[in-house]
Amino acid sequence: MSIDQRKVSRALLSVSDKTGVIEFARALAAMGVELVSTGGTRKTLADAGLNVRDISDLTHFPEMMDGRVKTLHPKVHGGLLAIRENPEHEAAMLAHDIQPIDLLIVNLYPFEETLAKGASFEDCVENIDIGGPAMIRGASKNHQDVAVVVDPGDYQCLIEELYETGGATRLATRRRLAQKAYARTAAYDAAISNWLAEQLKDEQPPVRAFGGRLAQVMRYGENPHQQAGFYLTADARVGVATAKQMQGKQLSYNNINDTNAAFECVSEFDPLRTAAVAIIKHANPCGVAEGATLVEAYQKALRCDPVSAFGGIVALNRRIDVATAEEIIKIFTEVIIAPDADDEAIKLIGAKKNLRLLLTGGVPDPRALGQSFHSVSGGFLVQTRDRAVVEDMTLQVVTKRAPTARELNDLKFAYRVVKHVKSNAIVYAKDCATVGIGAGQMSRIDSSRIAAHKAQEAAEAAQMTISLAQDSVVASDAFFPFADGLLAAAAAGASAIIQPGGSINDKDVIAAADAHNLAMVFTGVRHFRH
């Protein structure tokens, strides 16, 4: 047999996830493959009536230390690592009674799943696999001779190949499986190392790794000439990665990015306190609002910028009812994401075949720990998630006039939203709804002017004679370096300002606010979002 094809005579099976393993092993046995297995896997196969050898028959060494030591043995690793047709390796195998292993089937202890369940430190440690990764790495290194399977999804195609070749694996298949196996151990180790860093409260460990499992191949990336894939990490944060897509075509790269931005924005609003809706376009909010009902919140959010909302993403923090669904489908919408939806609402949305509906089962915690990372040439930047919440901030009134109760409520609302607008960011809000948003400008004064212009446009669209910015409040994601941005807000009709403070020109800005009878509060917390 050529080096391209290697006969499978002996297979070692040791799996935590036993999905399909009985059927797979039965097919191997039918082709005359000797089955060797460990612990629970061996029992599962034996109970199914299969003739299977215990690993101790190969090693002549018992399992010990609660199963921690069973495959860590030269006869196992020698059987995986021995280069076939290498005289020195063959001599060593004969001298030490090492039997070759041609096929390794291993999936690992469920560390990620255990972590996601919020298990104790001790349980997480016990679910760190040692023997499995060691065998996977050994078999993968020797993929010239040995095939390694770490995913039950590969069982069927491998069986088909064995039938086609008369019981052999092809080199291309072994190489593909080896790449997948190394990626699996890399992602597994990354999850463990990041968890340990969290336990140590080490936010910048000396070596950082991230790993993920391919969820879907995208048609393309941000643009058609770019290739992209969507990968899932061990982070179990509720959102687009955990959502169930109820209908519609595959999400695009931009859809996923925008939908994530939308749901993270709406998560700032506790569903037990208020209904809230966020409408997102190009990862920026174009309308956010609270309401007594989702319908009210959606209508207020849409009023802010109905032009930009066309073809946008709608995120809701509560279960979608029919009335809300009826409103949303009145204009073209790419994606709706929410914790849940009534059956009738699902049916109504389902009539729009190109409208995707994602149900998450919950809303993420804006205060939860987590990391974000961004690639740069030759590396990547890692930071903790921006989990600062305005309710936890000490607000300092810095002007002669303090905000009224209504203004203060709107200021807090606006600061929740500005956190999710690209810098430089300015948000005008009134009655717990955005009325003008200026995002991503190189100058803060330009963001202020754009937000004011949007407020005027929204008023005209609603057939109102006065700008929506009149008697509104303004939130800035960072300090005003000069009074000009603040003055632009005042000219638009704003009555109160919330900003981090911290500029060397704070005194001038405060003086300008006092001169225009503006109330202003400092948060001491910046929300840059580049």
CATH assignment of the domain containing 423? 3.40.140.20
DSSP string, 131-190: HHHHHHHHHHHTTTT-EEE--GGGHHHHHHHHHHHTSEEEHHHHHHHHHHHHHHHHHHHH
- Between CA 284 and CA 396 the distance in angstroms is 28
Based on the fold, state whether residues 285 and 429 are members of the same structural domain. no
Last residue within a domain, chosen from 199, 216, 248: 199
Name the residue with tokens 């005359």: 32
Is 73 catalytic? The answer is no
Q: How confident is the model at residue 169 (pLDDT cuts 50, 70, 90)?
A: very high
Per-residue pLDDT at 207: 84
What are 255-295's pLDDT values in tens digits?
999 999 999 999 999 999 999 999 999 999 999 999 999 99
Which range, 49-63, 86-100, 106-120, 258-272, is most confident? 258-272
Based on the fold, state whether residues 487 and 442 are members of the same structural domain. yes
Candidates 282, 352, 453, 516; catalytic one: 282
What are 484-518's pLDDT values in tens digits?
888 988 898 999 999 999 999 999 999 999 999 99
Which candidate, 44, 40, 38, 43, places its Cα nearest to that of 58?
A: 38
| Mean local confidence (pLDDT), 209-223 | 88
SS3 for 30-50 is HCCCEEEECHHHHHHHHHCCC
Helical residues (DSSP H) of 444-505, grouped into ranges:
444-461, 484-492
Candidates 141, 352, 453, 516; catalytic one: 141
Task: Dig out the tokens for 179 from the structure.
Answer: 């790449």
Based on the fold, state whether residues 95 and 41 are members of the same structural domain. yes
Last residue within a domain, chosen from 359, 382, 414: 359
Average pLDDT of every residue of the chain: 90
In a domain, 219, yes or no: no
Based on the fold, state whether residues 37 and 180 are members of the same structural domain. yes
In a domain, 180, yes or no: yes
Based on the fold, state whether residues 346 and 445 are members of the same structural domain. no
Based on the fold, state whether residues 185 and 292 are members of the same structural domain. no
**Structural domain boundaries, residue 454:** 395-522
Q: Is the pLDDT of residue 3 over 80?
A: no
pTM of the model: 0.84
pLDDT top residue among 428 and 17: 428
For residue 242, give the 3-state DSSP assignment: coil
Is 225 catalytic? The answer is no
In a domain, 217, yes or no: no
Per-residue pLDDT at 90: 79
Based on the fold, state whether residues 344 and 290 are members of the same structural domain. yes
Q: How confident is the model at residue 38 (pLDDT cuts 50, 70, 90)?
A: confident
Based on the fold, state whether residues 195 and 295 are members of the same structural domain. no
pLDDT top residue among 358 and 97: 358
Based on the fold, state whether residues 323 and 265 are members of the same structural domain. yes
* CATH, residue 172: 3.40.50.1380
Last residue within a domain, chosen from 149, 173, 199: 199
In a domain, 417, yes or no: yes
Contact 457, 501 (CB under 8 A): no
- Work out how many domains the chain is built from and give that number: 3
What are 43-61's pLDDT values in tens digits?
898 998 888 888 777 767 6
Per-residue pLDDT at 70: 66
Give ∠ CA 376-262-256 in degrees, rounded to 5: 55
Per-residue pLDDT at 1: 46
Give ∠ CA 404-407-411 in degrees, rounded to 5: 135
- Percent of the chain whose pLDDT exceeds 90: 58
Based on the fold, state whether residues 273 and 176 are members of the same structural domain. no
- Percent of the chain whose pLDDT exceeds 70: 97
What are 175-200's pLDDT values in tens digits?
999 999 999 999 889 888 888 888 88
Q: Is the pLDDT of residue 407 over 50?
A: yes
Based on the fold, state whether residues 300 and 195 are members of the same structural domain. no
Q: Is the pLDDT of residue 399 over 90?
A: yes
DSSP one-letter code for 204: S
Q: How confident is the model at residue 64 (pLDDT cuts 50, 70, 90)?
A: low
In a domain, 234, yes or no: no
Task: Output b/e per residue, 2-19; b: 16+ Cβ within 10 A.
Answer: eeebbebebbbbbbbeee
pLDDT top residue among 406 and 108: 406
Which candidate, 334, 331, 352, places its Cα nearest to that of 461?
A: 331
Q: Is the pLDDT of residue 36 over 80?
A: yes
In a domain, 39, yes or no: yes
CA distances from 312 to 65, 256, 485 (A): 56, 12, 28
Q: Is the pLDDT of residue 361 over 90?
A: yes
Q: Is the pLDDT of residue 142 over 50?
A: yes
Per-residue pLDDT at 474: 96
In a domain, 380, yes or no: no
Say which amino acid occupies 293.
Answer: T
In a domain, 205, yes or no: no
Per-residue pLDDT at 66: 64
Which candidate, 483, 484, 472, 319, places its Cα nearest to that of 407?
A: 472
Based on the fold, state whether residues 21 and 130 are members of the same structural domain. yes
Q: Is the pLDDT of residue 393 over 80?
A: yes
